[in-house]
Amino acid sequence: MPQLKLSYFDFHGGRAEPIRLALAVGGITFEDHRFTFPEFAEVRKTVPFGQVPVLHVDGVQVTQCDAMLRYAGKLAGLYPTDAYQALLCDEVSYVVEEAGVKLGPSFSMKGDEQRAARLALVNGSMPKYLGWLQSQLQAHGGEFFADNRLTVADLKVFVDVRGLNSGRMDHIPTDLVEQHAPQLNAHMQRIAQTPAVQRYYAAFAAS
């Protein structure tokens, strides 16, 4: 098994969290390197494109979160071996990422500018993305997004919905998901009750 070091901000969310979860669920040993937001000024000097997460695989630095997630999924047995199911898995992951890219610029905004930008998303693209994800979940049995089992696509959506519901993002209503895609909330709760996911978060609570 390769030596892995995953570097990202020290919070439960964002682009690294599905990767962390995939490795943890699969029982894959990795160094979970976390840093504070003020420390990022120095970290960004050492990473491609000045962005995180980055994954070191036997000392080789790799960028792009969905590539890392797919790799972690393969190591952990959470990525489909069937080509079509893998396609469905990737489709969901990329849609979540695309929605996040639209939201991303608002994090550097303040006050009325941020409010206007986020309300435009809340009243525009975000319900469309959420509705599409719910329809995909329904189309594939209502429990998982691909392969009739837990995959990295489920972890990607789980982290996204958890973040939207958290109340940590100003001007994003905490009932946005419930209003537009309640089955995604039910999905999130099922994933949260997965024993390996419970163990992952329990370890932080105990520390």
The CA-CA-CA angle for residues 18, 20, 24, to 5°, reads 115
Question: What residue ranges of the chain are covered by domains with CATH 1.20.1050.10?
Answer: 83-194
> Closest Cα partner for 157 from 135, 178, 127, 187?
187
Pick the CATH number of 83-194 from 1.10.3720.10, 3.40.50.970, 3.40.640.10, 1.20.1050.10: 1.20.1050.10
Residue range(s) of every CATH 3.40.30.10 domain in the chain = 4-78
Task: Give the model's confidence band at 205: pLDDT under 50 very low, under 70 low, under 90 confident, else very high.
Answer: confident
Collapsing DSSP states into helix, strand and coil, what is residue 169?
coil
- Quickly state the pLDDT bin for 35 (edges 50, 70, 90): very high
pLDDT in tens, 123-181: 999 999 999 999 999 999 999 999 999 999 999 999 999 999 999 999 999 999 999 99
**DSSP assigned state of 167:** S
Classify strands 54-57 and 4-9 as parallel, antiparallel or unpaired. Answer: antiparallel
pLDDT score for 1: 86
CATH 3.40.30.10 fits 4-78, yes or no: yes
Using CA of residue 169, residue 170, residue 172, residue 177, what is the dihedral sign? positive
